[in-house]
Structures are given as C-alpha cells and as structure tokens.
Structure 1
Amino acid sequence: MIVLSEDSQRTSGRDAQSMNITAGKAVAESVRTTLGPKGMDKMLVDSSGGVVVTNDGVTILKEMDIDHPAANMIVEVSETQEDEVGDGTTTAVVIAGELLDQAEELIESDIHPTTLAQGYRQAAEKAKELLAEDAIDVSAEDREELVKIASTAMTGKGAESAKDHLAELVVDAVLAVQDEDGIDTDNVSVEKVVGGSIDNSELVEGVIVDKERVDDNMPYMVEDANVALFDGALEVKETEIDAEVNVTDPDQLQQFLDQEEKQLKEMVDKLADAGADVVFVGDGIDDMAQHYLAQEGILAVRRAKNSDLKRLARATGARVVGNLDDIEESDLGFAGSVAQKDVGGDERIFVEDVEDAKAVTMILRGGTEHVVDEVERAIDDSLGVVRVTLEDGKVLPGGGAPETDLALELRDFADSVGGREQLAVEAFADALEVIPRTLAENAGLDPIDSLVDLRARHDAGEFGAGLDAYTGEVIDMEAEGVTEPLRVKTQAIESATEAAVMILRIDDVIAAGDLSGGQVGDDDGDDGGAPGGMGGGMGGMGGMGGMGGAM
C-alpha cells in the first residue's frame, strides 16, 4: 500500500506504459521531418519572441519546452549523441521513437516489457557487431575522404549551398588542432559575422579575440610580435583589509600618487624588459599603465577571457603568467602578425602567422543572423564527424544503407534467438527501417517502393546501396562519397535502445503534484484515470503543443 499526499497522482500498469510510449513517440515525430538532405526546417519562437530556424534535431528539442519526464528521456538521447559524436541526433531520436512504436504493438499482444527489453538489448549488441564488421577503413591521411565526410554532415542544412568550401575549412581546422593528446574541437573557435555570403567564410590559422586595443596611441599592427599573456590586472593592488590613508599635507597626496605611478611603471617595464610587443591581460589595465604601454609601443588588450588566453597560449606557444615579477623572455610566445581589424563593423584583434597553429578560428558569414546561426550548427556537426573519423578510422555508407542491411541481418539473427525475445529482435529490425523510409518520405518519394528497391539490392549483397534523395534511385553510396563515421550509427543505436528500454520498463508513474497539467491517475492509487493521464501527459509537453502550429 502506497500512501500519497492529496496532490500526488499515480498511473499504473498498461496505462503508465501507454502514456510514456505516446510521449516518447511524440518527441520523435516532432523532428522526423527534418531527417535527410531533403529534410524540412522548424521555426521555434520562445516566450520573449526570439526566433530559431533550424533542422538540427538537438537544437529543436532543446528549444522546445518539454515537461513530460518520459519525453525528456528521448531528448537526452539527442544530447548524448551531440556530446559524443556531434551528428546523427535526429537519427537517434527517430530510432528511439520507432522502437517504442514497435514495442507498443507487442505489449498489446501480451509480450512482457522485460522480454522486449531483453530482445532489444540483444539486437542492439548484434547490430553494433555487424556494423563494426562492415565498416570501411579510412586513413587519416586521406584528405579527400575527410572532406566528403564533412560535406555529408552539412547536407540538408543551412550551409549546404557552400558545403564544398566549408568542408575544406572544417578539415583544415581539425587537422590543425590535432596533437598527440587527440583532437579537442574546443580549440576551433567560431566567429559569426552578419554580412556577405556563406562563401566568404574563412579560416584564420591563429586566434581572433573579440576585443580592441586599450589605447588609441598603441600600434594598430605589430609584426614578428613577442606575445605576453598575463592572467591578472595591470593596476595598483588594493589592500586586502579595510584601510584608511589620512593625508594631512598636499605633498603627501602627491607622494601617494607618485608611488602608484611608480608601481604601474615598474609593471610595464617588466613587460618591456622581457621583450613583449603585445600583452593580453585577463583583468583591467589602469589608465596610467595604458599610457606607459603606449609609450613603449606595446599593443595591449584587457579583460581577455580565460578561454581566449588558453587558445592564445596554444597558438603562440606563450605561457600564461600570474605574476609579472616572474615574467621572463621564455614565457613569451610568437606571432608573425598581431593586428586590429574590422570584421563586419566590429573591431577585433587577429593573432596570425603563428609557427604551429594548435588553435584556429573560423569566420562564418551569412546574409542574416538566422543564416549564420544555422551555418554554425552545421559546422559544429561537421567538426564532430571529422574528429570521430580521425579517432576511429572507420566509416559507413549513408542514404539508409546500414539500416537496411542491419534489418535483413537481424531478421536472420532472430531465427537463432529462442523464446519470445525473437519477436523483439524482429521488431528491432523493423524499427531500423524507419530511417530509409523517412528519407524517402522527406524527399517526396514513395517509401514502400524505395524500401523494396533497397531490400532487393541488399539481398543481392550490395552493402553500400543507399537512397539518393535527389533522384529517388538506389545508388552505391560509397562510390558517390556519401559516408559518415561508424560511431554516428553505433552511438545512435546504443542511446536509442537504452532510452526505449528504460521507458518500457516503467510500469508505475507516481508524481508529487501535477505531472502534466492534467489528471495522471486517481488519487486513491488504482489504475483508473487513464484517459486523463494520457491527455495530461501530452499536454505536459508544454512548448510542444504550442509549437505545433509553427512546425
């Protein structure tokens, strides 16, 4: 017996499962039309009137105000996919939704959810094994292949019109920041500029700091610059305790001010003696210090972010110092050019011509802010897939080819699985075919005809046969250069399966308060109130209901 407060609500058994499955399917349905090169965009308007136009699955789900806990589990699938790989977020969510849809039919046929969960896990493990066996090896030196992978990740997104140019920039950027520790794409900074066309986007092998020099008397440009990085303030230190200075004579005041100036002059002299031509300061710079720096011909920037200092250190080879008393010539970095330039009406500091650019900056341009934002999202996806490809060295053909092949292989595998789990494995195989089917639907093709053609080609042993969304024909995706990293697919299958299994294993929802703006179950804890629970459950997806018209 469970004793609940008056505000608590409960849904049990088949009703709870049905409510959660419906919520999960609704999330998947909301992004399904964005899948593939012919996917549509969504316009999301927040409560303050801000507008986001995108077809990036994880962005759509983050922007939507989703309250339902089961629906949020599906949202987490997209976030995990984004964090681990950078691309394939919509694929992961759509597969999760279809696994739930297939499970619903089996539950209605009295297959127990635990049996389903077991079968799904077996199918997922087998699927990952099969994908690893069929994956195509890619060499890190094969630049042409890397460019194709980067280009595939941008297909169907706002950056598609300039994907060839942008793919080259992405590959250059990832190869530049690669080191013995691996690849950290955080070292690829993105600066967005509204104005010009996407084709005007460029890669700067170095760092762009969104600041200006602190004094107009400082040089605009310094060539062959020794760069100092100081994570502190060029200001007179304040006392750490409350203190008063009583001045009884004008001469004493002058001595006090002279002493402050002397301290500031000593700080600047230490930078000059070390040989610094440019200094980036993490905190403030006193007006008098600015004057002395300008006299020495040193270009100075204040309040540089920690992330900027780290990237400048990687790019120039400088060491970030916390105390100017210790600064030496060996702490300085080098840049062939440090200059203040105008970019789209904003002045920024460019640190370029570095010996080994382990931090780079991409300048993305576009006609409107919405365009530039969507290009940035496409670039993020593309950076992720190139990174993963270099790390793993394995890719798969696109166009729904891996999913079609897995579906056939898993149906054969199901025959070797005993018990009712066999039905779950077959359901898993059917669920995977949602990807080629959706690609066909979004391209305006007949999904049944497309799926029949794909199955026939894969039955004949053509692993790379995928759907060309532009012509409607089934072609060899590998030969066409349409490939994506192995990890995109394995991670999508793994995350989708885990989320679906977790949702299916829930047979009781006890909410401390109103779960979803509607009645979830009767307060007396019995299984009644299912219709209210379902209605409430979906209503509780908050922004989803409101966004429906916008989509």
Structure 2
Amino acid sequence: MAQQMGNQPLIVLSEDSQRTSGKDAQSMNIQAGKAVAESVRTTLGPKGMDKMLVDSTGNVIVTNDGVTLLSEMEIDHPAADMIVEVAETQEDEVGDGTTSAVVIAGELLSQAEELLDQDIHATTLAQGYRQAAEEATEALEEVAIDVEEDDDEILEQIAATAMTGKGAESARDLLSRLVVEAVQAVADDDGVDTDNIKVEKVVGGSIENSELVEGVIIDKERVSDSMPYFAEDADVAIIDGDLEIKETEIDAEVNVTDPDQLEQFLEQEEQQLKEMAEGIAAAGADVVFVDGGIDDMAQHYLAQEGIIAVRRVKASDQSQLARATGATPVSSVDDLTEDDLGFAGSVAQKEIAGDQRIFVEDVDDAKAVTLILRGGTDHVIDEVDRAIEDSLGVVRTTLEDGKVVAGGGAPEVDLSLSLRDYADSVGGREQLAVEAFADALEVIPRTLAENAGLDPIDSLVELRADHDAGDTSSGLDAYTGDTIDMAEEGVYEPLRVKTQAIESATEAAVMLLRIDDVIAAGDLAVADDDDDEDMPAGGPGGMGGGMGGMGGGMGGMM
C-alpha cells in the first residue's frame, strides 16, 4: 500500500505482499470457489464419474467421494480452502452430502456474481442469502418424513442411497443390511458412536464376501504357538501395561561377585514373571490382551496355564474389547480381580485371506462390532470403505433425528419453488438474492441430469411441473431419465444432510462475498482457465504483474 507524501511514496506493505481490492477481490474469490465446485461436480449422483488422484509420492486414490477428493487435492488458495471446509464440516456432521454442499456453495457464488455486476451490494446479497437459507430449512422440516428406529427397510434404503454411485454399488443390498445391523448394535441411550464400529479391510475375495462380526477382530496373533488356538466361554482380561520386569528408573550399579548371585537374580525375575501368570490364572482369565510387551518367560508360564495372550494391542482396540466383552482394563496384574473380567462365547485365532487374526465373538450384548470388508484390490476396498463411512454416517444421523427426505433432487426442486413464493414477501433488493438462492438450489437436479447424460433443461421442466402439481417427492431417475416418486422408490436421505449442506454452503458463500480486500504476504496464485501456469491474483494484468514493488503497480492506490 503506497501513500503519496510530497514527492516520496510511503510504502506500508512489504515488497513481497500482494493486494487485490474491491471488485477484483470479489471476482477472484468467486472464481476460486467455483473452480472447487466444478472439480467435484461430475462425481454427483448415481452416474457420477470417479477421479484419480496421484500424490507427490506416487500414491493413487480412485474415488467418487467429495470430501476425499478435496482434502487430498493440494489446494493452496485461501478462498478455495474455505469451500473445502464446507465439505469437511458436512462429513463430520452427517457423513454424506459433501459433493452437494460444495456444488451448492459454488452455485451460490455464481449467482451472486451476476447480481454484483448489477451493482447490488454484497451485504444486501448476504442478508438475502441468510433469509433464504432460514426459510429453506423450515420448508425442509415440513416435507420431512418420520422414521422409527426399528424401521429396517427405510434404514437400509437410506444406507443404500448413500452408497449409490460409489464403488460399493455392486453389493449395496448386502452392505446396506450390514451397515444397519452394525449401527443398531452399537446404538445406546447416549446415541450412536460409530467409532464402536470397526471396519477391517481384507484384500481378497469379492465385495459380496463382506460380513459383520458381532464382537471385535484384533489384527494380531497369540504370542506363543504353545497357547491354545481358541477358548470357549472365555473370561477376558485387559491389561493396560506390560507383562515384563520393570527396569529401574534410577541408574544403579550392581556388582556380582559370584555366579550364585547372578543365578539368584535370574531366579527372582523368573519367579516374578511366574507370579504374574499365576495372578492372571487365579483371577480366572482364559484370555489376556496386553497393551505393552510380554516377556518370553511370562509367555511360557501363561501357555502352561492354558491362557491365550495377545500383546501390543492398540488403545482403540482395547476400548472396543472392553465395550464388547464388559471387561474393565487394569494397569497391572496385581489389580486384576474376577470382577474386572469380561465375557466372550468364543475367542479364536482364525485365518482370513492369508492373515491370522484374533476373533472375539458371541458376546452378551455386542456394543462394539466389526465389519469385515472384502474386495479384489486395495483400491476397490478403499473406495468401498469410503462408501461405508458415508453410509454409517447417514444411518447414525437418521437414528438420532428420526427424519428423512426423498432424494434424487426432489427436495431441492421443492425448495426452489417455495423460495420463489417466499421472495415475493421479501422487501427491497434482498428479494433478488432470495430468487438467486432459489435458482442456485436447482443446480443439484440439473447436475444429476447432466451426469446421467440427460437434457438438464427438459428434466428440470418436468420436475417443476410435478412439484407444482403437489408431488413433493418427485425426483429424477438417473437410469431411465423419467421423473418418479422417490419415496415410493425408496430413495431417502436424512433431513440433516440437506439442512447442513444448505447452512454450511450459505455461510461459506456469504463469508467469501463479504471480502473486498485480499492482502497476501507472499505470492497468491490462481490457476487460469487454460491451466497453463499460475497467474497473479486478480487475473492477468489485474495486479500489475506482481505489484511492481507495491508502488508503480498500484495505480489508483496512490
């Protein structure tokens, strides 16, 4: 920033800084937001395409999942980053609808661009957008359908809808059933914590070989081959420590003067380890899971007692074991009593796709379960895992809220019509912003049609006609191109997926529109339309080609 003082310009910002102001700043932020939305737009819907991402180390990810795409892409434009946050918030809150949220945010910015060109102030736009978002949320509540916790059919349809268009589609009937069973198993009075559903990925076999284990699978083997392979009706102990002799923390020097003394030392250590094993046996444990290491001698004595021992069990696995079996983790063998033990009908070491794992099954009340996902290759299984994550999220959300809406673009068309009616009652220039918001929501059915190879205008006209006639759940069938009743077809999404997408997209768009000055400490680059190379912020020539030392390049800023 330069200010003229006499004949000498006063330099306020450093030479490396770049500053874009007014319309240029708004335009730059809008372009960045639109570019992010455009990058994920083709993945939307049942016929959405996948993207292949290759990172700097050569790792490959093939995905259809919006949030995975955006978080793995190396985006370093601050405005684009704010749109990525929309996807991340959506993922954290509801687990699905990330692409929709980003596409809506991009379209809100696109619509705003036209109004800004007509000299409507950004603050007026922001006010109108907020009013529209509030009205949209209320209108969604009105068309929402109530779902009972035990309505398995609708829950499975919701799970299947979240997987549509992702790699899991070939076996989505099986997977959606497993997802619903898993979520119902871990649901308790405090709600649903999907961390209690462990997803174990096993390469080999096909997706149809996936299964749900009511219990926990630990990706470890028993520590010694002389221990039993399995234990029926097993009492389970969890020790949050080691079965080893503790090293002294103080540096001590012991002079051994004759071999008998050394022998005594060793015997003493051996005796301590033997007592540990006997302590576990005395408490009545058949299986012990240890957080740390297990000394070789302790392994020997545990095997003699017929106890299965597993070492270096992760903290997350330990908490799942505790939840599944009812065991109380203790910090040392001395604290272990019969009351601390959990129960499992079967603990066994089994082979799955060439790997040995410990299966803890047949627990009294499986409050922790494991979903074994199978697939032909790592890439397939990773994408199925991402689809399952989304699916778990939507079933959890539905159980918590008990409300769903029809999918297939139906709620967006309905909202668009409601908002146009509402716009008439909004005074002032905000009315134009509300109408722009209504237009922006139609990007969802329009994109669904485009990705399915259909004519977006024809599809939209048909959908509007259906909704005008009062059919609130009429949506687009991407496979046939017809408009059908999505509720009858069983295409549902949780209400919160839609409300969250609209709220976070609106907040991000409003925040970007209200920025009229971007001051960057270093080089701020935006890729140009031809993707040839990075250009200075504000577009070619917009910033005086790197600011000319922030003096001559500023022109009107003097």
The aligned counterpart of 2:171 is 162
Map 1:292-331 onto structure 2 (within 5 A): 292-331=301-340
Q: How does 1:41-60 map to 2 (within 5 A)?
A: 41-60=50-69
* Segment of structure 1 superposing worse, 268-277 or 239-248: 239-248
Secondary structure at the residue paired with 2:173? helix
TM-score, normalization: structure 1? Answer: 0.95
**What's the counterpart of residue 537 of structure 2?**
520
Alignment check: 8 A CA contact 2:221 2:310 kept:
yes
Q: What is residue 44 of structure 2 aligned with on the other side?
A: 35
Q: Offset at 1:323?
A: 2.2
CA contact under 8 A between 2:280 and 2:333: conserved in structure 1? yes
Cα offsets for 1:221-245 (capped at 9, x unmatched): 1111100000000000111222222
CA offsets 1:50-86 (integer angstroms, 9 cap, x no match) = 1100100000111101000000000000000000000
Note the 1:357-372 alignment, pairs <5 A: 357-372=366-381
SS in 2 for 1:321: coil
Residue 206 of structure 2 is matched in structure 1 by 197
1:374 paired to 2:383: yes
- Equivalent in the alignment of 2:105: 96
Q: How many residues align?
A: 530
Measured at CA, do residues 13 and 144 of structure 1 come closer, stay the same or move farther in structure 2, by a change above 3 Å?
same
Paired letter, 2:279: K
- Alignment partner of 1:485 is 2:480: no
AA aligned opposite 1:60: L
Specify the code of the residue in structure 2 equivalent to 1:520: A
Query: What is the rounded CA distance, in whole Å, between the counterparts of 1:197 and 1:262 in structure 2?
Result: 50
Counterparts of 1:499 and 1:230 in 2: how far apart (Å)? 47
Selected match of 1:13 from 22, 28, 34: 22
Once residues 531 and 226 of structure 1 are traced to their aligned partners in structure 2, the CA distance between those partners, rounded to angstroms, is 75
Shift of 1:532: 5.3
Q: Which residue of 1 aligns with 2:426?
A: 417
CA distance in 2, matches of 1:89, 1:318: 38
**Secondary structure at the counterpart of residue 536 of structure 2:** coil
Aligned-partner Cα distance in 1 for 2:298–2:142: 64
Among the aligned pairs, what percent are the same residue? 78
Deviation of 1:518 after TM superposition, in Å, equals: 4.3
Q: Deviations over 1:342-363 (max 9, x none)?
A: 1111111000010100000000
**CA distance 1:479–1:277, change in 2 (3 Å):** same
Among candidates 211, 218, 239, match of residue 220 of structure 2: 211
For 2:477 and 2:227, locate their aligned partners in 1 and report how far apart those are by CA, in whole Å.
57
Please give the alpha-carbon distance, in whole angstroms, between the structure 1 residues aligned to 2:462 and 2:252.
84
CA distance in 2, matches of 1:227, 1:183: 25
Q: Is the 8 A contact 2:27 2:538 kept in 1?
A: no
Task: After TM superposition, give the deviation of residue 49 of structure 1 in Å.
Answer: 1.1
SS at 1:475's partner residue?
strand
Q: Is the counterpart of residue 529 in structure 1 residue 542 in structure 2?
A: yes
Q: Are residues 1:507 and 2:516 paired?
A: yes
- Cα distance in structure 1, aligned partners of 2:277 and 2:176: 44
Opposite residue 353 of structure 2, the aligned amino acid is G
**Residues 32 and 46 of structure 1: is their aligned pair in 2 closer, same or farther, counting only changes over 3 Å?**
same
- Indicate yes or no: 2:141 matched with 1:128: no
2:28 touches 2:537 (CA, 8 Å); kept in 1? no
Aligned equivalents of 1:446 and 1:521: distance in 2? 35
Q: Which consecutive residues of structure 1, in runs of 5 or more, have no partner in the other structure?
A: 535-551
Q: Which residue of 2 aligns with 1:543?
A: none
Deviation, 1:515, is 2.1
Note the C-alpha offset of 1:528: 7.5
Shift of 1:521: 6.8
- Partners of 2:60 and 2:372 in 1: CA distance: 23
Question: What letter matches 2:44 in structure 1?
Answer: L
Deviations for 1:460-491, whole angstroms, at most 9, x for unmatched residues?
Answer: 01100000001100000001110110000000
> Aligned partners of 1:508 and 1:313: how far apart in 2?
54
Q: Which residue of 1 aligns with 2:95?
A: 86
For 1:117-172, what per-residue CA distance to the aligned partner results, in whole angstroms no more than 9, with x for missing partners? 00000000000000011101111111111111111111111000000000000000
Cα distance change, pair 95–310 in 1 and its aligned pair in 2 (3 A): same
Whether the 8 Å contact between 1:194 and 1:372 is mirrored in structure 2 is: yes
* Contact persistence 1:440–1:450 (CA under 8 A): yes
What is the alpha-carbon distance in structure 2 between the residues aligned to residue 213 and residue 245 of structure 1? 36
Counterpart-to-counterpart distance in 2, 1:531 and 1:280: 66
Aligned to 2:361, which of 346, 352, 363? 352
Q: CA 1:377–1:348 in structure 2 vs 1: closer, same or farther (change >3 Å)?
A: same
CA contact (8 A) 1:228 1:333 kept: yes
Match of 1:148 in 2: 157
Residue 65 in structure 1 maps to residue 68 in structure 2: no
Query: Contact (CA 8 Å) 2:413, 2:445: kept in 1 or not?
Result: yes
Structure 1 counterpart SS, 2:167: coil
Q: Is residue 443 of structure 1 aligned with residue 452 of structure 2?
A: yes
Q: SS in structure 1 opposite 2:53?
A: strand
The answer to whether residue 211 in structure 2 is matched with residue 235 in structure 1 is no
For 2:406, the equivalent position in structure 1 comes to 397
AA aligned to 1:295 is Q
Alpha-carbon offset, residue 246 of structure 1: 1.6
1:475 aligns with 2:477: no
Q: Is the 8 A contact 1:337 1:351 kept in 2?
A: yes
- CA–CA separation in structure 2 for the residues paired with 1:348 and 1:116: 58
Q: Does the 8 A contact of 1:10 with 1:521 survive in 2?
A: no
Partner of 2:530: none
Q: What code does the residue aligned with 2:59 have?
A: G
Check if 1:426 corresponds to 2:435: yes
Match of 1:375, as an amino acid? Answer: V
User: Does the aligned pair in 2 maintain the 1:19–1:533 contact within 8 Å?
Assistant: no
Q: 1:108 to 1:191 in 2, by over 3 A?
A: same
Cα displacement string for residues 506-550 of structure 1 (whole angstroms, at most 9, x for unaligned residues): 11111111122643379xxxx97348589xxxxxxxxxxxxxxxx
- Contact 1:135 1:395 survives alignment (8 Å): yes
Of 387, 396, 418, which aligns to 1:387? 396
Describe the SS at the equivalent of 1:225: strand
The code of the aligned residue for 2:214 comes to E
Unpaired runs of 5+ residues, structure 2, are 3-11, 526-533, 548-558
Question: 1:262: Cα distance to partner?
Answer: 1.0
C-alpha separation between the residues in 1 aligned to 2:538 and 2:205?
56
The CA deviation string for residues 84-120 of structure 1, in whole angstroms up to 9 with x for no partner, is 0000000000000000000001101101111100000
Letter aligned with residue 279 of structure 1 = V
Q: Does 1:178 align with 2:177?
A: no
Partners of 1:358 and 1:100 lie apart in 2 by: 45
One-letter amino acid of the structure 1 residue matched with residue 511 of structure 2: M
> 2:57 and 2:354 mapped to 1: Cα distance?
27
Deviates more, 1:142-151 or 1:425-434: 142-151
**Structure 2 CA distance for partners of 1:122 and 1:521, relative to 1, 3 Å:** closer
Cα distance in 2 for partners of 1:474, 1:160 equals 22
Q: C-alpha distance in 1, partners of 2:386/2:100?
A: 16
- For the aligned residue pairs, the C-alpha RMSD in angstroms reads 1.5
Separation in 1, partners of 2:337, 2:373: 37
